[in-house]
Amino acid sequence: MPTNRQILLDNRPKAEATVDNFKLVSSETPALKDGQVLVRHHFLSLDPYMRGRMNDSKSYAASQPLGEVMIGGTVGEVVESKHPRYAVGDQVVGMGGWQEYSVVDAEQPGALRKVDTTHVPLSHYLGAVGMPGVTAWYGLVKIINPKAGDTVVVSAATGAVGSAFGALAKARGCRAVGIAGGPEKCQYAVEELGFDACIDYRLHKDMYSLAKALKEACPNGIDGYFENVGGMILDAVLLRMNAFGRIAVCGMIAGYDGQPLPLANPALILVNRLKVEGFIVSEHMDVWPEALKELGTLVATGKLRPRETVAQGIASAPEAFLGLLKGKNFGKQLVKLI
Domain residue spans of the chain: 3-127+307-336, 131-282
**Among 221, 223, 226, 214, which residue's Cα sits nearest to residue 162?**
226
Average pLDDT over residues 112-132: 94
Secondary structure of residue 277 in the 3-state scheme: strand
Burial class (CB in 10 A: 0-12, 13-18, 19+), 283: exposed
Which range, of 12-21, 84-93, 256-265, 295-304, averages the lowest pLDDT? 256-265
What would the pLDDT profile of 27-82 be if each residue is shown by its tens digit? 999 999 999 999 999 999 999 999 989 998 777 678 899 999 999 999 999 999 99
CATH homologous superfamily of domain 3-127+307-336? Answer: Medium-chain alcohol dehydrogenases, catalytic domain (3.90.180.10)
* Domain 131-282 annotated CATH 1.10.10.10: no
Residue 230 in this model has a pLDDT that exceeds 80: yes
The answer to whether 217 and 226 are in contact (CB under 8 A) is no
Main-chain dihedrals φ then ψ at residue 218, nearest 5 degrees: -125, 70
- Sequential DSSP letters for 69-132: BPP--EEEEEEEE-STT--TT-EEEE---SBSEEEEETTSTTSEEE---SSS-GGGGGTTTSHH
278-287, long-range: CB < 8 A, 24+ apart: 278/249, 278/250, 279/138, 279/139, 279/142, 279/143, 279/248, 279/249, 279/250, 280/60, 280/61, 281/131, 281/134, 281/135, 281/138, 282/131, 284/138, 284/142, 285/110, 287/134, 287/137, 287/138, 287/141, 287/142
pTM of the predicted model over 0.85: yes
**Among 253, 277, 22, which residue's Cα sits nearest to residue 160?**
253
Average pLDDT over residues 227-251: 96
Under DSSP, the state recorded for 272 is: T
What would the pLDDT profile of 312-337 be if each residue is shown by its tens digit? 999 999 999 999 999 899 889 999 99
Under DSSP, the state recorded for 140 is: I
**Among 335, 338, 313, 332, which residue's Cα sits nearest to residue 129?**
332
Give me the chain's average pLDDT, please: 95
Q: What is the pLDDT of residue 93?
A: 97
**Among 62, 110, 47, 113, which residue's Cα sits nearest to residue 86?**
113
Residues 6+ apart with CB under 8 A from 259: none
